[in-house]
Structure 1
Amino acid sequence: MSDAAQPTAAEVRAAAEAVKTALDRHLAAVERRSGEDDPAVYEAFNLLAAAAEAYDELLYERYDEVTPFEIPGAEDALPPYTGPEEPHAVSVLIRRDYAVVEPQRLLAQAQRVEAADADDGETAGTVPGALGVLFGEFEPDEIASRHKEFGLEEGDSTLWVTAADDPAEAGEWLEAPFEGVDPQRVVCRFDVSAVFDDELDDDEVLEDEELEPLDAER
């Protein structure tokens, strides 16, 4: 980057002040949180992540320095909400990934369901057919809570709540239900991933390693 395109010292300072403000807002939201999944805390987290990322970029461009901070999910953070203040409708978008780790168990469970319904044809003889039978019989939440019984292993999952000005017309989005989602209309988002557990495990290992010399002295 040329010197002419570099940010000014004042711009870097302003970005630093924005991080301080975002930190105060995030702490205040945490102190006032109304539950484990408080949307205000989530929004404050996203704003803090965006402010920290902007400051880091300006600091590097101006002084060739970086910060020691890394906020998980900052790259994937949603933009600030710009939807209606009082939505008249919401859409809930859910994605849950599973690995088929025990196909025979999956097939056996589907065949039991099929055997209990004499009107159904024989469709549970293949993995795709068995999946169709089980997901047609059980609610997604029940599949999630009993996934091991069905020979499945949980992967990542996410739930998005998006706001709309008006309810959709019947059948309006059925052909492409997951297209056209506006990130700026996402009211809240909740993610579950093993990567978060891995990050916690790494921190615990680091803490244990740091404590070892003290234990040795004792």
Structure 2
Amino acid sequence: MSDAAQPTAAEVRAAAEAVKTALDRHLAAVERRSGEDDPAVYEAFNQLAAAAEVYDELLYDRYDEVTPFEIPGTEDSLPPYAGPEEPNAISVLIRRDYAVAEPQRLLAQAQRVQAVEYDEGPAVGEEAAGTVHRALGVLFGEFEPDEIASRHKEFGLEEGDSTLWVTAAEDPAEPGEWLDAPFEGVDPQLVVCRFDVSAVFDDEDPEDAEEAGELEDDLDLDEDLEPLDAER
């Protein structure tokens, strides 16, 4: 890059200040979060990721230096937003995956639900929660998805990946318009914000872990000091 095209020191400093502001906003949103899927937290997270990316690019262009952190984002998987600046409607698309880790616990919980609904105990025959298939139908028919997410261990379920997309629209959909295929036809350019949760984000590079261990040995750190882990 030529010197004429390089960002100025003032621009780099301004980008750094923007990261600090975004950090404060993200922390404030987390402190005020209303639940696991609070959209304010997702928005603050995306703003922090965007600010950090701008700073990282300017820092490299100006000083040939990089930052020591990386915030997982969606820039590589989603195109730039091209929806209305003031949408009149939004759609919230959520997918949560679970593994049936304890089938007997799942069956027992479903049978308890049915026992409450019938004076003489659980239903029998075709309506009895005697299979995993029927038990899932009973539990998801009784509890809201958010409650199942917060109590999944009680139901013998193990969390997998999850994602939440908020898409914008000019006008609300007509009643019943998309019920047959609720997740088809989503335009990535209309995604306002997106938040993904996956165990893949928690995986640590074995080589990095080994290097960190060697560094700790070299520095002779106190045993009661704990490393600071980045959650995202």
TM over 0.5: yes
Where 2:171 maps in the other structure, the secondary structure is coil
Structure 1 residue ranges without an equivalent (≥5) = 1-8, 57-66
Whole-angstrom CA distance in 2 between matches of 1:183 and 1:69 = 30
2:32 is the alignment partner of 1:39: no
Post-superposition Cα deviations, 1:43-70, rounded to whole Å, max 9, x if no partner, equal 45147559979xx9xxxxxxxxxx8978
Residue 91 (structure 1) aligns with = 91
Which 10-residue stretch deviates more, 166-175 or 108-117? 108-117
Shift of 1:95: 0.9
Query: Distance between the aligned counterparts of 2:188 and 2:50, measured in 1?
Result: 13
1:68-92: CA deviations, max 9, x gaps?
A: 9784545645333222122111111
Q: Is 1:103 the equivalent of 2:107? A: no
TM value normalised by structure 2: 0.67
Letter in 1 for 2:196: D
Q: Distance in 2 between matches of 1:201 and 1:143?
A: 34
* Residue of structure 2 aligned with 1:176, choices 177, 181, 185: 181
Is the 1:26–1:41 Cα contact (8 Å) retained in structure 2?
A: no
Partner residue of 1:164?
Answer: 169
Count of aligned positions: 202
Change (3 A) 1:190 1:84: same
CA contact 1:114–1:122 (8 Å) conserved in 2: no
Give the C-alpha shift of residue 133 in structure 1. 0.9
Relative to structure 1, the CA distance from residue 134 to residue 155 in structure 2 (aligned partners, 3 Å threshold; closer, same or farther) is same
What amino acid maps onto 2:49 in structure 1?
F
- Higher share in helix: 1
Distance 2:54 2:128 in 1: 49
Q: Distance in 2 between matches of 1:161 and 1:103?
A: 33
Q: 1:213 to 1:69 in 2, by over 3 A?
A: closer
**1:112 alignment partner in structure 2:** 112
**Aligned sequence identity (%):** 60
What is the Cα deviation at residue 26 of structure 1? 3.8
